[in-house]
Amino acid sequence: MKLSVAAAGLMASLIASQLSAQEAYNRVFLCDGDGVKMEIYIPESASRDFALKDGRPVLAWYALDLSDPDLKKGKSLEAVLVRYAEDKRALVLYQFSRGLPLTVIPMGGGVVNFDNRFGSDAKCGPFEGPWDADQSPSER
C-alpha cells in the first residue's frame, strides 16, 4: 500500500512525539544561509549503528534558527525523514510537514537549497559523524 504525503507526514509526526524524549540526537549538519542557520539532527542510534545504510528513512529533526537580531523569529524544530542517497554520498532530507521537495545534502558539504523563503543557497559543512560511504567508484 502506498501512503500519501499527508499520511506519511502524520505518521512521522506521531512517531516523533512518542520517540523524541526517549532517544538522544546528534547534530550531523550545520548550514549557514543569509543570517539563518539550519541544523540536521539524527538519532544517536542511527549514527552509531549505521541504521541509515539499508536505505530506509529515519525520523530526524531539522532546526531552522531565525534568531538573528534582524529576523527576531526564534528557532523552530521540525520532524523530518532522512535517508542516505543510493551511493551514500549524500543525505536526503524530506520536510514532509511543509510539503517541500527532497533536499540533498552532500556528505562532504556544499551549497544546499532547503526552501525558497529562508534556506536557499545555504552553505553546509561536512557530515559530522560516522557514515558507511563508498570511498570511490573504483573500490566498489
Q: Is residue 138 one of the residues assigned to a domain?
A: no
Query: Quick one: pLDDT at residue 30?
Result: 95
Q: What is the pLDDT of residues 20-41, one digit of tens each?
A: 557 888 999 999 988 789 999 9
Q: Which domain holds residue 39?
A: 5-15+23-124
Maximum Cα–Cα distance for the chain, whole Å?
Answer: 49
Within-domain flag for 134: no
Structural domain count, the chain: 1
Q: Is position 41 within any domain? A: yes
Under a CB-based contact definition with an 8 Å cutoff, are residues 89 and 104 in contact?
Answer: no
Counts for the chain of helices (H) and strands (E), in that order:
2, 8
Highest mean pLDDT among 10-19, 82-91, 113-122, 125-134: 82-91
The residues, any chain, with a CB within 8 Å of residue 125's CB and separated by 6 or more, are 29, 30, 31, 109
Q: Is residue 133 part of a domain?
A: no
Does the residue 59 lie in any domain?
yes
In a domain, 129, yes or no: no
Residue 36: the pLDDT is 86
Express each pLDDT in 53-111 by its tens digit.
667 788 999 998 887 667 667 778 899 999 988 888 999 999 988 888 899 999 999 99
Kindly state whether residue 103 falls inside one of the protein's structural domains.
yes
Examine the pLDDT at 118 and tell me if it is beyond 50. yes
Backbone angles phi, psi at 115, to 5 degrees: -160, 170
Does 100 reside within a domain? yes
